[in-house]
């Protein structure tokens, strides 16, 4: 995914963003573990009921053998169903994702339906194991990014916009293999996990001023990025927090 943001000073994120190194110990944090109590399914595995595509390329989204297949030119599939009236504030979203070689996608949250173009509202959890965009799976896109050391475009990424970055030897996800993706928003804190490992834990600063990128509330969206990208999703479920 690509989104262009206004340049920010590097100090903007100082002290409020923590990206976990590979192998971080998550045993003290039970997010993504335990039972599925309180989780509600958003994708029925047979149809796109409860989801609405943007108008630029609805054909990018299909269902095959219980899997939501995302492939083709840019488009976004927005959750428009009845759960929480598709307007989520604090939540934990869990889904299984599988990338194919050279593919790029993303999971938007706190967004709103948009007929075309890249979403102007919301944040994106990146999905990318090997595509040329240096931001890899587990990144909070262009805010708190995961990249692979030694990639050709690594130096440019590290200085862009004064964002926070963590280098890894390899991407957190592997093409052709299903991984568990967890996105949790609680208050002003976003936590992203890949297979139970925390890749990002970031708190939005009080003086955060990126237009459209504000934690408030909204729906989810899956991204079709380009004709060469095919990504698979299944077992999409959410738990609304604060309702216990």
Question: For residue 17, is pLDDT > 50?
Answer: no
**CB 183, CB 200: distance < 8 Å:** no
- Would 109 be classed as within a structural domain? yes
Contact 129, 146 (CB under 8 A): no
Backbone angles phi, psi at 17, to 5 degrees: -125, 130
Q: For residue 103, give its domain range.
A: 14-240
DSSP string, 105-152: EEEEEEE---SSSS-SSSEEEEEESSSSSS--TT-BTTTEEEEETT-T
The pTM (predicted TM-score) of the whole model is: 0.84
pLDDT band at 154 (very low <50, low <70, confident <90, very high): low
User: What is the domain-level CATH number for residue 86?
Assistant: 2.60.120.560
61 assigned to some structural domain: yes
* Residue 211 belongs to some domain of the structure: yes
Q: Give me the number of domains the chain comprises.
A: 1
Residue 104 resides in a domain = yes
Determine the Cα–Cα distance for residues 16 and 164; give it in Å rounded to an integer: 10
Phi then psi for residue 184, to 5 deg, are -125, 130
Return the half-sphere exposure (C-beta side, CA atoms, 13 A cut-off) of residue 192: 30
Q: SS3 of 207, please?
A: coil
Closest C-alpha to 189, from 18, 42, 8: 18
Amino acid 160: pLDDT: 52
Q: Which residues contact 25 (CB under 8 A, 6 or more apart)?
A: none
pLDDT tens for 172-218 read 999 999 999 999 999 999 999 999 999 999 999 999 988 899 999 99
Average pLDDT over every residue of 18-34: 43
Residue 78 lies in a domain: yes
Q: Report the alpha-carbon distance of residue 110 to residue 217 in Å, rounded.
A: 5
Q: Report if residue 5 sits inside a domain.
A: no
């Amino acid at each position: 995914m690509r989104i262009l943001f206004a340049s920010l000073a590097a100090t903007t994120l100082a002290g409020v963003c923590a990206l976990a190194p590979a192998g971080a110990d998550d045993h003290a944090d039970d997010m993504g573990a335990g039972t599925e109590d309180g989780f509600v399914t958003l994708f029925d595995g047979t149809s796109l009921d409860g989801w609405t595509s943007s108008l630029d390329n609805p054909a990018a989204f299909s269902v095959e053998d219980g899997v939501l297949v995302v492939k083709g030119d840019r488009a976004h599939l927005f959750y428009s169903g009845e759960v929480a009236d598709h307007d989520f504030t604090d939540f934990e979203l869990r889904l299984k994702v599988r990338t194919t070689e050279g593919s790029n996608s993303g999971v938007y949250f706190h967004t709103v339906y948009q007929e075309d173009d890249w979403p102007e509202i919301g944040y994106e959890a990146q999905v990318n194991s090997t595509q040329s965009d240096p931001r890899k799976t587990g990144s909070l896109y262009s805010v708190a990014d995961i990249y692979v050391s030694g990639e050709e475009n690594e130096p440019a990424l590290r200085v862009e916009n004064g964002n926070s970055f963590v280098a890894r030897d390899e991407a957190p996800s592997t093409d052709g293999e299903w991984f568990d993706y967890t996105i949790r928003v609680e208050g002003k804190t976003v936590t992203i996990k890949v297979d139970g490992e925390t890749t990002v834990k970031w708190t939005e600063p009080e003086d955060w001023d990126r237009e459209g990128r504000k934690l408030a509330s909204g729906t989810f969206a899956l991204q079709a990025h380009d004709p060469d990208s095919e990504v698979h999703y299944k077992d999409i479920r959410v738990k609304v927090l604060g309702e216990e």
